[in-house]
């Protein structure tokens, strides 16, 4: 065990003692390291927007913003969280699979008032027509940049639930629909077609689909740019993986390294002038720990351990069969300092929720009894933002483990009064 691991384990035990369980802890040092890796792969002038859906705790959005990231949001709710986290609307891009007239009106109003988002990405011809109608009604002298989400029709190397860039998925438009939507939007006052938005999928295990998607988007952008020089922006989305130790995958730099050759292959005046990414998981996943307490241990064709965190705090195992390492912080009431493989034996770890899919997988764990503590790893992405209060469970406290070792409160635990 490295000093750092020992330090984090002690902080997680302290978090459980002081704030109760389950409790979520974000290691700010890890956040800083992850942000530095993404920034190094995609340095300025790349536009880097944090995909707020990955972790929408305002205190964490604010930290990520401090580390050189703008915001990418999918709803008025996430937009409000980004603003609360200190990200100006001009540094926020707005997308979303389905936008109501109310959503579009809020964006058009911001443009009218001289405070437009960096851009709005639209998803369909219906949405283009609705946006044009709403802009005619109320954009006044304002101006709004519009991106068009392309479905790249590739085969993302990921769980089918995350393969949003496969043809036939509900995400984005075909190339023909994009060109048609550009014409629709271009005819409206105050709306400026500016480029293409893409997201191939999340947790990509290889770079091929991302490369194919980027190539298709660049070709389409070059085509449209021929007649519209202002169509100059390509947003490549997120998708950079954070995998369990048992799996290997490309790091963020390998995705970035694909771009120069692809850009070179396009005539200079048809290349995008602005390039953007919107990573989520790559920034926040590793930094997150979910600390849970053992409720009971019993024999059910092997050891079964029920803990007090489950799908309400971390739904990914139930939703996608995702694997998150579970490690003991205490064993039979004592802090775990060094537990060698010999002391570990298999255990099926289960959450406390009344659903049989509330299952956290098989793990090698030391002797455990009621009251012991475990840490669920890599729980910083798609955990808090996908959490629910199902079974009448208030949201856990969100803590930050500061670089100087202090624990600070990012969001207080929910209350019983706040339920129902």
DSSP 160: G
**Catalytic residue, candidates 261, 342, 354, 417:** 354
- 87 vs 368 by CB, closer to ligand PLP: 87
Give the residue with the Cβ less far from ligand PLP, 282 or 399. Answer: 282
Q: How far is the CB of 280 from ligand PLP (least distance, A)?
A: 3
**How far is CA 94 from each of CA 67, 71, 145, rounded to the nearest angstrom?**
20, 9, 11
Which are the contacts of 125, defined by CB distance < 8 A and separation ≥ 6? 173, 177, 180, 181, 184
Smallest gap from residue 281 Cβ to ligand PLP (A): 4
End-to-end CA distance of the chain: 44
Q: Considering the complex, what minimum distance in angstroms separates the CB of residue 29 from ligand PLP?
A: 21
As given in the structure block, the two tokens for residue 59 are: 């205190």
Instruction: Quickly tell me which residue has 């960096």 as its tokens.
Output: 118
Q: Which is nearer to ligand PLP, 15 or 120 (CB)?
A: 120
Q: Determine whether 354 is an active site residue.
A: yes
* Nearest residue (CB) to ligand PLP, 280 versus 317: 280
Residues of the shown chain interacting with ligand PLP in the complex, contacts defined by CB under 6 A: 51, 53-54, 95, 164, 199, 202, 237-240, 278-282
| Shortest separation between residue 54's beta carbon and ligand PLP, angstroms | 5
Residue nearest to ligand PLP (CB): 238
- Answer whether 307's CB lies under 8 Å from 292's CB: yes
Burial of 126 (C-beta count, 10 Å sphere; 0-12/13-18/19+): exposed
Provide, rounded to whole angstroms, the least separation between the CB of residue 147 and ligand PLP: 11
In the complex, least distance from residue 220 CB atom to ligand PLP, rounded to whole angstroms? 17
Q: Is the separation of the CB atoms in 195 and 231 below 8 Å?
A: yes
Whole-angstrom CA distances from 153 to 175, 195, 226, 254, 381 are 10, 18, 23, 21, 26
Nearer to ligand PLP, 148 or 240 (CB): 240
* 240 in Cβ contact with 252 (< 8 Å): yes
Q: Report the residue number, 19 or 148, with the smaller CB distance to ligand PLP.
A: 148
What are the tokens at 98? 């389905």
The Cα-based distances of 237 to 119, 200, 361, 382 in angstroms read: 14, 7, 30, 16
CA pair distance 144, 92, nearest whole angstrom: 13
From the list 389, 386, 378, 414, the residue with the least C-alpha distance to 25 is 378
Give the residue numbers marked as catalytic: 354
């Amino acid at each position: 065990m490295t000093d750092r691991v020992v330090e984090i384990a002690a902080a997680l035990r302290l978090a459980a003692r002081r704030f109760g369980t389950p409790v979520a802890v974000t290691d700010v040092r890890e956040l800083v390291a992850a942000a530095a890796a993404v920034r190094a792969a995609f340095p300025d002038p790349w536009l880097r927007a944090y995909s707020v859906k990955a972790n929408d705790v305002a205190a964490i959005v604010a930290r990520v913003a401090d580390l050189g990231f703008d915001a990418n949001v999918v709803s008025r709710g996430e937009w409000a969280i980004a603003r609360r986290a200190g990200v100006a609307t001009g540094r926020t891009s707005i997308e979303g699979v389905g936008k109501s007239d109310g959503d579009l009106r809020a964006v058009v109003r911001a443009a009218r008032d001289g405070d437009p988002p960096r851009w709005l990405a639209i998803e369909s011809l219906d949405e283009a027509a609705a946006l044009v109608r709403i802009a005619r009604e109320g954009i006044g002298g304002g101006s709004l940049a519009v991106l068009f989400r392309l479905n790249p029709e590739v085969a993302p190397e990921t769980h089918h639930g995350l393969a949003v860039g496969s043809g036939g998925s509900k995400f984005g438009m075909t190339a023909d629909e994009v060109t048609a939507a550009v014409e629709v939007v271009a005819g409206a006052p105050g709306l400026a077609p500016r480029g293409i938005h893409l997201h191939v999928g999340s947790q990509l295990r290889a770079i091929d689909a991302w490369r194919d998607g980027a190539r298709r988007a660049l070709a389409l952008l070059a085509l449209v740019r021929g007649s519209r020089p202002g169509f100059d922006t390509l947003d490549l989305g997120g998708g950079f993986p954070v995998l369990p130790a048992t799996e290997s995958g490309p790091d963020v730099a390998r995705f970035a390294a694909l771009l120069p050759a692809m850009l070179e292959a396009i005539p200079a005046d048809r290349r995008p002038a602005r390039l953007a990414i919107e990573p989520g998981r790559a920034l926040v996943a590793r930094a997150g720990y979910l600390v849970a307490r053992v409720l009971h241990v019993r024999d059910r064709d092997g050891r079964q351990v029920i803990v007090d965190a489950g799908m309400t705090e971390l739904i990914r195992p139930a939703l996608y069969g995702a694997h998150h390492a579970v490690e003991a912080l205490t064993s039979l009431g004592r802090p775990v300092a060094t537990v060698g493989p010999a002391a570990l034996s298999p255990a099926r770890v289960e959450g406390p929720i009344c659903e049989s899919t509330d299952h956290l997988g098989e793990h090698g764990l030391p002797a455990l009894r009621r009251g012991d503590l475990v840490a669920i790893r890599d729980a910083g992405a798609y955990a808090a933002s996908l959490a629910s209060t199902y079974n009448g469970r208030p949201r856990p406290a969100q803590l930050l483990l500061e670089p100087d070792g202090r624990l600070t409160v990012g969001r207080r635990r929910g209350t019983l009064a706040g339920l129902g």
